[in-house]
Structure 1
Amino acid sequence: MKVTQHLWFEKDMEAAIRFYTSLIPGSVLEWIKPIPADTSSEPAGSVRIASFTLGDQRYMAIEAGPLDPFNHAFSIMVECDTQADLDRLWDALKEGGAVEACGWLRDRWGLSWQIAPARLGELMNDPDPDRARRVTEAMLKMVKLDIAALEAAAAG
């Protein structure tokens, strides 16, 4: 079995996919093609589908006009090893979108992202409950996550 996430774009699907795949190493836009007119009530060529990977995750997408907007029920989480990678992704994805608390943001297409340090889960699940609490409390006060500040909170 294969599991593939599927995204519905009202418009600008190709621009979004090209942007996403340019940001995350190991990503590729595999193909984009129109859905033939005889299978759609839309004008020929106006509905398109695409296949792409982001890092190690498979995605399909459709551009087919308005349906349901993206919301927090689905987000893409990217775990970064360095603050430089985290900053680069954060700055690129927030452009034209909106930042939120705790490492969340919405990009210009409305898709929710969580840009987090790869080490965050380990820090928040530390066997020492005081260390885990300090990290969680520090993270809850942040918008963009700061690896050094999270490490400092863990150290006390």
Structure 2
Amino acid sequence: MADAENTLILDTSKGQVTIEMRPDLAPGHVARIKELAREGFYDGIIFHRVIDGFMAQTGCPDGTGMGGSSKPDLEAEFNAEPHVRGICSMARTNQPHSANSQFFICFEDARFLDNQYTVWGKVTEGMDVVDQLAKGEPPRNPDQITSMKVAADV
């Protein structure tokens, strides 16, 4: 593990996923994800929108895709990192500066999202686990993050 302070360990109902965070690309978003993870915000949250061949979205406390944390929305940190398989990027409304706690993991290349959503990390282990998440909007029996921790804290 290169940098434990910038590595996330997600235990999901399908298995473990490791994400390398990229503070060089999106320092504010990485700081928010770590802050929420350390507060236990993501523990028990479902993957509420999982579209085969596109992405798996999570981070909504009420499981509808409409909610977020009690913290203020983030300023966009759009960057040139391409939306390809394994990329982790922030979900938002049609307002650029509306990302809060929801994020998605790309199943396949989704380059049409480039420079419009904030890329903040990449799955380094466990993409096979992400591939197994129950599909749907929302899935009938959604998978969940049972625990999400910063590796430095484990």
Point out which structure has higher relative CO (alpha carbons under 8 A, 6+ apart).
2
**TM superposition score category, shorter chain reference:** under 0.3
The structure carrying a bigger helix percent of its residues is 1
- Scaled by the length of structure 2, the TM-score of the pair is 0.25
Normalised to the residue count of structure 1, the TM-score between the two structures is 0.25
